Amino acid sequence: MSHKVAIVMGSGSDRPTMEKAGVMLDQFGIAHETRVLSAHKTPDQALEFASNAADNGFEVIIAGAGKAAHLAGVMAAKSLLPVIGVPLSASLDGMDALLATVQMPTGIPVATVAIDAANNAALLAVSILAITDDELRGKLADYRRDLAEKTLAS
Query: What's the whole-model pTM score?
Result: 0.96
pLDDT band at residue 1 under the 50/70/90 scheme: confident
Residue type at 125?
A: A
Q: What is the pLDDT of residue 68?
A: 87
Domains of the chain listed by start with CATH number? 4-153 (3.40.50.1970)
Q: Rounded mean pLDDT of the chain?
A: 97
Per-residue pLDDT tens over the stretch 7-50 = 999 999 999 999 999 999 999 999 999 999 999 999 999 999 99
Inter-helix orientation angle 15-27/118-130, to 10° = 30
Name the band, by pLDDT with cuts 50, 70 and 90, for residue 141.
very high
